[in-house]
């Protein structure tokens, strides 16, 4: 029988994930002192805290903390001596990128010379301590919390999932919310456990947890951010059937909406004509556009803009032309970039008219209503995909 105390909400971009968490935390039956909301990034924590202050008008505000802080305060610091007697952990040593752990053994794998815990092995350490405590760590958490809400679950990796499972099996009501397709950052780049569930594949692990009766899954495919053309295109970034179809709830009056191909030489003119465009690129190897907001794909997560201009990469063009699937991280980054826009997404490609004609007739993109943008035209600047189904 499924444990209905544990709920996982899998939501598309623009569905109002953070608002759902806030609505749950504002329920009158929620006791602020026995409830905690957890998110990975500082930006997400700040946004959640600020909106809670505005919307929870009665009672104290539940705590909002980071995932690392939760692991440090509630598991690692209290139980670290079970593994290393007479030693303690101070703060967090944040690790950027992948740390070489080949020659790191024993305590040096987990803490530095200042007794600060490395972030990339923090979940592994916490997982070991949960097991070493023989259930005491979980019982302690059960005394402290009635509800734990975890936002942006897609950022979690292998040992995090083991911790989730331990929490699922506790008496605490656990709620997870996130979008597997927006997995562009990670709690650890060194954690290879459960590698087949990394990135968007975390949904498969969640399905297994549901089948084992540990949680219920709630799929929310409605987006309130972008038009249906963008929703349809974003769905095509991942293989058919990987996720439920996204449904736009918008009713924008704009006529210049959809997915456009644009020549590299026309980027500046496109930005000048529309006035409110954000330029997104895979990394800093692509030059920014003068006087135009320019961000990398990963940096754009969390923003909403009217129009997005994307510098495509070779792999993205191969996806469109040859249906060659993107690597997991690249697919998630491209999905994030596309779903920042309300009205339109312009993709920079070589020779746009020729590019559109080269899309294979057997490709899942063949029937999509792409357009080509030309600066010298106004209403007639929209040229439909010749492969579009009638």
288-291: long-range pairs with CB below 8 Å, 24+: none
In tens, the pLDDT along 243-281 reads 889 999 998 887 789 999 999 999 999 998 888 899 999
Say if strands 305-311 and 277-281 run parallel, antiparallel, or are unpaired: parallel
The three-class DSSP label of residue 279 is: strand
Structure confidence at residue 187 (pLDDT): 87
Q: Which of 119, 122, 116 is nearest to 163 (CA)?
A: 122
Does residue 7 surpass a pLDDT of 80? yes
pLDDT band at 386 (very low <50, low <70, confident <90, very high): very low
pLDDT higher at 367 or 377: 367
Average pLDDT over residues 225-233: 96
pLDDT tens, position by position, 71-95: 999 999 999 999 999 999 999 999 9
In order of 39, 73, 115, 177, 238, the CA distances from 92 in angstroms are 16, 11, 9, 25, 36
Predicted local confidence at residue 29, as pLDDT: 78
Instruction: Confirm if 83 and 128 have CB atoms less than 8 A apart.
Output: yes
Average pLDDT (125-133) is 96
Residue that wins the pLDDT comparison between 43 and 83: 83
pTM, to two decimals? 0.88
What pLDDT sits at residue 218?
A: 93
What confidence tens digit (pLDDT) does each residue in 90-112 have? 999 999 877 777 667 789 999 99
């Amino acid at each position: 029988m499924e444990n209905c105390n544990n709920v996982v909400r899998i939501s598309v971009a623009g569905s109002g994930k953070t608002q759902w968490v806030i609505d749950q935390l504002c329920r009158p039956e929620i006791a602020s002192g026995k409830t905690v909301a957890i998110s990975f990034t500082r930006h997400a924590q700040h946004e959640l805290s600020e909106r809670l202050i505005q919307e929870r008008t009665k009672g104290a505000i539940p705590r909002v903390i980071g995932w690392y802080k939760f692991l440090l305060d509630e598991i690692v610091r209290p139980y670290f001596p079970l593994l290393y007697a007479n030693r303690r952990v101070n703060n967090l040593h944040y690790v950027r990128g992948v740390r070489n752990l080949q020659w790191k053994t024993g305590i040096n794998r987990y803490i530095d010379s200042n007794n600060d815990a490395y972030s990339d092995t923090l979940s592994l350490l916490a997982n070991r301590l949960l097991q070493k405590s023989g259930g005491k760590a979980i019982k302690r958490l059960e005394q402290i919390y009635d509800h734990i809400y975890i936002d942006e679950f897609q950022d979690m990796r292998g040992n995090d999932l083991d911790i989730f499972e331990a929490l699922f099996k506790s008496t605490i009501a656990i709620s997870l919310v996130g979008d597997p397709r927006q997995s562009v950052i990670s709690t650890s780049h060194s954690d290879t456990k459960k590698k087949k569930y990394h990135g968007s594949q975390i949904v498969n692990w969640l399905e297994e947890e549901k089948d084992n009766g540990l949680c219920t899954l709630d799929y929310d495919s409605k987006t309130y951010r972008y038009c249906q053309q963008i929703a349809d295109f974003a769905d095509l970034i991942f293989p058919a059937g990987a996720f439920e179809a996204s449904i736009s709830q918008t009713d924008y009056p704009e006529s210049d909406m959809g997915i456009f191909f644009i020549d590299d030489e026309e980027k500046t003119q496109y930005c000048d004509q529309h006035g409110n465009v954000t330029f997104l690129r895979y990394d800093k190897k692509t030059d920014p556009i003068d006087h135009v907001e320019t961000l990398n794909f990963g940096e754009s997560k969390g923003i909403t803009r009217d129009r997005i201009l994307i510098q495509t990469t070779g792999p993205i063009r191969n996806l469109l032309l040859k249906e060659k699937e993107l690597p997991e991280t690249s697919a998630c980054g491209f999905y994030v970039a596309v779903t920042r826009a309300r009205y339109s997404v312009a993709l920079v490609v070589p020779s746009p008219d020729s590019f559109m004609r080269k899309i294979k007739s057997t490709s899942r993109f063949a029937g999509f209503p792409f357009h080509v943008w030309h600066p010298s035209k106004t209403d007639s600047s929209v040229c439909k995909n010749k492969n579009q189904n009638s």
